[in-house]
Chain A
Amino acid sequence: MNSIWPQLENLLAKVQKPARYIGLEDGSVRPDHDPRKVSWLLTYPDTYEIGLPNQGLQILYEILNERPDALAERTYAPWEDLESELRAHGLPLFSIENHLPASAFDVLAFNLSAELVYTNVLNLIDLAGIPVRSAERRPEHPLVLAGGHCTYNPEPLADFLDAVVLGDGEEVVGEITEVVAEWKASGRSEGSRLHLLRELAKVPGVYVPSLYEVTYDGPRLVAVTPRFPGVPELVEKRTISDLASWPYPKRQLVPLTEVVHDRLNVEVFRGCTRGCRFCQAGMITRPVRERPAEQVRTMVRDGLRRTGYDEVALTSLSTADFSSIDEVVAGIIEEQPNCNPVSVSLPSLRVDAFTVQIASEIQKARRTGLTFAPEAGTWRLRKVINKLIREEDLYGAVESAYSQGWRRMKLYFLTGLPTETDADTLGIAELARNCIEIGRRYHGSPSITVSVGGFVPKPFTPFQWFGQNTVAELNRKIGLLRDALRKDRAVQLKWHDPKASLVEGIASRGDRRIGAVIEEVWRKGGTFQEWSEKFDYSMWIDAMSMHGLDVDWYVHRHRTEDEVFPWDHLSAGLHKDFLWQDWRDALAEVGLPDCRWTPCYDCGACTGYGLEHIVASTTPPAGGSQGTGQDLRRGSEAPVLLRGAR
C-alpha cells in the first residue's frame, strides 16, 4: 500500500488547478494506517471546490479520526483532465492526504447531496478499481457506502451501493466501524461479504439494498421486502438528539485553493418545522435541534481565531428562526477585534424587515448580496406550498434593504408547482416589478435578479404524489416570464435548465430499474451531469428508452393514495398519512403553522423517536416565524407603501 504521489506529481503539472489534489489543508490529518484500524475514504462525488466545504463530510472526518479504532481520509471527483491522465497511466482514485489508492481503504463512503452526481458515483467506484455492481465485489474490495439527503430514496443506486445510511451520521459511523472491524479481524475470507452485509443491516439506520426483494406488477411496484430473517422490514433514519453533544467540526478544513462557501461555517440548528411542502430537507431532518447560544459563540470565536477567516456563516435551514439569533449576532459583533472586522452571513434569510435589520447590523465589514426566497408569485400559491410569506412581509423586507443601502437583490422562485396557473407564474414578474418600484425611491438604478428553478417532487414530502411538469410546460412558463419582463431592464431573469430538472426527477423518485439507466449514461461518458456544460439530456432520454422505461410514468405521472413508493420500506419518521393529509391541505390551499410555536400535528418525527424539538425559547423569535402568530387573512394585501406607486 504505497503512496502514488511520485507518479501523480508528474501528472499534476499538466492539469488545471492542481492544488485540488494535494491535501495539506489546515485541519486535515495524515493518519497512520494500521491493520487494526478501520480505514474510511470519505468521498464527495463532485469536484473539490464543491465538495470540500461539505459540513457532513467534515464532521464524520473528525469523528472517525478521533476514534482509536478508525481513521479517515478524503477524496473528491478528479476533473476530467486528471481522470484521463490517471486512466492513461493505470493509476487509481486516491486519497488526498496520504495519496493512497482508494482500494487500500476498508470503506469507500459517498456523500450524496444531489441526484445528478449519481453517474460520478459509478465513475469513482470504477476509478477506484472496484466492480461497480455490488454483487460482483469480492472480499478484497472495500465496502461501498453512502449517506446524505439523497439516500432517502437510494433505490436508483441500489445495485451499486453495498449499504446506505439514513439520517444523522455522527453516531452510526462508529457502529459501522465496529461491524467492519470484526469483518477485518475475521480475515475477510471468501464469502464473508454477505455475512458482513447482514451484520450491517442490524445496525439501526443502515439499509442494505441487496438484502431486499423487489416485486413489480408490470410497471407498478408492489413491494420491497427482506430476503432474510433479521433484516428489518422498515429501516428508520438516525437522529442525534442533542446537537450540543456534537460540536463539530472543531477544526474546520481551510482549503489552500478557492472553493465555494470559503468561510467559517457554524451550524446553529438542524431540522426545520416551517413545513414548506416542496422542501425535502425540511421534512427529513426534523425535529428541530438548536445548538446552545453559548456553544455557537465559542465555535465562532475559536473558529475565526484558528482559521484566519474574516467571514462566518451561521448555517441551518432558516437561520433567522434560531431562537438566540439576536444574542449570538450581537456577541460576534462585540467581540471582533477592530483591526480585523468580521462579516457574518445568514445563508437562508427569512423574508421580513426584521431579518434585513439583522443582516445590515452584521454585514458592516463587507456587504454581500441579499437573497430572498418567496418561492411562488402569489399568496394563493404560497399557501399551497406552505411558504407563508405575505406580500407585506416581502415588500417590507425589500424596502428595509433598499433603505439601508443595498441596491441589488436576488429573489428565488420555483415554477411547475402543484396547482400553479399562469396568473401565479406571472405573479413572479409582478413581485419583481413592485420590488424595483420600491427601490426607485432610494436609488436611481435598483436591480433585481429573479432566479427560477423547475420544481422536482422529492420523496418524504407532501408533493411526492405530484406529477412533475414536462420540459415543454416549464419552458412555456419561463417563456411567459421572459415576455413579461422583457421591457424591465432592472430585472434580470435567470432560470435553471428544465431538461436538468427532468433528469433530476427521473432519479429523485425512481426505483431500482433506473440503475440500468445510470449505468448506461456513465458507460457512455456522462459524468459531471450537474455541470451545465457537461449535461447531456439526450443521453438520458436514449438510455430510458433503451431500457424500456417510460419518462412520463416515472416523472410526469400524478400518483394516487395507494401508490407503493420505492422508499416505503425506509422511514424519515414522518407518517405517510400525515404527508397525504398535508398534500390534501395543499390542494385545498390550507397553510400549516410552524409547530415549534403551535401545537403538535403529529407528523411523526418527534413522537416516533421519543424526541422533542430542542428550542431555547417557547415564544417565536423576534419578527415572528412566518405563518405563526401573523394575520394570514391579509396575506395577499399589498402594503400602503406601494399604493402611491401604482
Chain B
Amino acid sequence: MRVRFRFSKLGKVRFTSHRDVARLWERALRRAQLPVASTEGFAPRPKVHFGLALPTGYESLAEYLDVDLREPEAVSLDIDTLPEQLTPLLPEGISVDAADVVDPKAPSLQEAVTACEWRIEVPGLAIEAARREVERLLAAPTLPVVRQRKGKEVHDDIRPYLWELVVAGPIAAAEPGTELRAVFGTQPRGLRPAELLAAFEPPVIQARVCRLHQWITLGNTRREPLSAAAARAEHAEARA
C-alpha cells in the first residue's frame, strides 16, 4: 500500500538539505512504528520515495513523499490521523498537512509532476524595475545559460521552462522589495529559481523563495499530486 504525504518546510529548518529531510523522515517513520516496507538484501532500506528535490534554503508549502507500507498490517491504519501523528515526530518547521492512499502503479512523483509554482521575494528590487525585467524575460525567444553539470559546462536554454512569471506586489517586510510568482516546468529537467534570478539584469543574488505548489498537468487542467479530497488539512498557504 502506498501512502502519499504532503508536508511544508518553513523557517529555520529550510536550511536542511533534501538528503537531511529524507533521513528525518526515516527516523520519524520508525518512531511512529509504521509498518514501512523495506528493500531486500544485506542492507535493507525503507521504501520511501521523494519527489523533486527542494534546494537547501528554500521554504515550501508543497513537499511530497510516498511511503510503501506492508500489508496486511497497514490495512488497519487510519490514514487520516497520520499527519497529526507524524508532525510532532519531525523537527519544528516541518508539518505534515495531508495524506492519502495512491495507486502504487501510478507514475512516481518525479515523473508525474510537470510544474512547480514559486513565490520569490526579492528585497531591494523596485516594483517598476521588476516589471521591466519580467517583461523582457518573457519576451525573450531564448534565455541561454551556462550550467555546471558533473564538472562540465553545459549550455542550456531555460526559456522553455519559464511558464509563468508575474510581479505580485511589494514584499511583506520592513524593507522595500518585490514579490514575484513563477511557474516553472520540471520536465525533462527543472529550473531553479536561483537560475532565473541570475538571468535578471542586474542578476539577483539574494531572495527568499518558497515552493507553493507542485502541479500535475494534463492538457489544460492542473491538479495537485494529492486529490482535493485528500487535502483534508487546509492548505497551509494562509499560515505562511
Contact = CB atoms under 8 A, between A and B. Distances in A.
Given A19-B15, A23-B12, A256 B20 contact: yes
Nearest to B73: A339
B33 A22 contact: no
Contact of B35 (A26, A306, A339): A339
Interface in B81-95: 89, 91-93
B31 interface: yes
A176 to B, nearest CB: 31
Contact of A308 (B26, B43, B73, B206): B26
Contacts of A10: 206
A305 B206 contact: no
Contacts of A19: 15-17, 20, 56
A328 B17 CA distance: 36
Contacts of A308: 26-31, 89
Interface in A10-43: 10, 12-13, 17-19, 21-26
Q: What's the interface size class on A, roughly? A: 20 to 34
A254 interface: yes
Contacts of A22: 12-13, 15-16
A18 B43 CA distance: 29
B91 A339 contact: no
B57 interface: yes
Nearest to B16: A19
A366 interface: yes
B105 to A, nearest CB: 24
Nearest to A25: B91
Interface residues of B, number: 30
B93 A24 contact: yes
B61 interface: no
Contacts of A307: 27, 31
A473 interface: no
A257 B19 CA distance: 8
B36 interface: yes
A585 interface: no
A367 B42 contact: yes
B233 interface: no
Contacts of B24: 256
Contact of B91 (A26, A258, A310): A26
A18 B91 contact: no
Contacts of B44: 341, 365-366
Contacts of A309: 27, 30
Contacts of A310: 30
Most B CB contacts (10 A, CB to CB) among A10, A18, A339 go to A339
B70 interface: yes
Given A19-B16, A19-B20, A339-B35, A13 B30 contact: no
A19 B20 CA distance: 9
A19 B24 CA distance: 13
Nearest to B34: A339
Contacts of A258: 19-20, 23
Contact of A13 (B33, B35, B57, B70): B57
Given A18-B57, A254-B27, A308-B27, A339 B33 contact: yes
A257 B206 contact: no
Contacts of B28: 308
Interface in B194-229: 206
B91 A24 contact: yes
A402 B177 CA distance: 65
Nearest to B91: A24
A254 B33 CA distance: 18
Given A10-B206, A254-B27, A339 B13 contact: no
A309 B17 CA distance: 19
Interface string B6-23: 000000110111011001
B20 A24 contact: no
A551 B223 CA distance: 71
B215 to A, nearest CB: 26
A18 B27 contact: no
A28 to B, nearest CB: 10
Interface in B41-95: 42-44, 56-57, 70, 73, 89, 91-93
Contacts of A365: 44
A532 interface: no
A438 B127 CA distance: 74
A365 B45 CA distance: 11
Contacts of B12: 5, 9, 22-24
Interface string A124-168: 000000000000000000000000000000000000000000000
Contacts of A340: 30, 33
A309 B35 CA distance: 16
Contacts of B89: 308
A337 interface: yes
Contacts of A5: 12
Contact of A339 (B15, B19, B26, B70): B70
Contacts of B91: 24-26, 256
Interface of B: 12-13, 15-17, 19-20, 23-24, 26-31, 33, 35-36, 42-44, 56-57, 70, 73, 89, 91-93, 206
Interface of A: 5, 9-10, 12-13, 17-19, 21-26, 254, 256-258, 305-310, 337, 339-341, 365-367
24 contacts: A9-B12, A12-B15, A13-B57, A17-B17, A18-B15, A19-B15, A19-B20, A22-B13, A24-B12, A24-B13, A24-B93, A256-B13, A256-B16, A257-B20, A307-B31, A308-B27, A308-B30, A308-B31, A339-B35, A339-B70, A340-B33, A366-B42, A366-B44, A367-B43
Q: Lowest 10 CB-CB distances: which A-B pairs, in order?
A: A308-B27, A18-B15, A308-B31, A308-B30, A22-B12, A19-B16, A257-B20, A13-B57, A24-B91, A19-B15
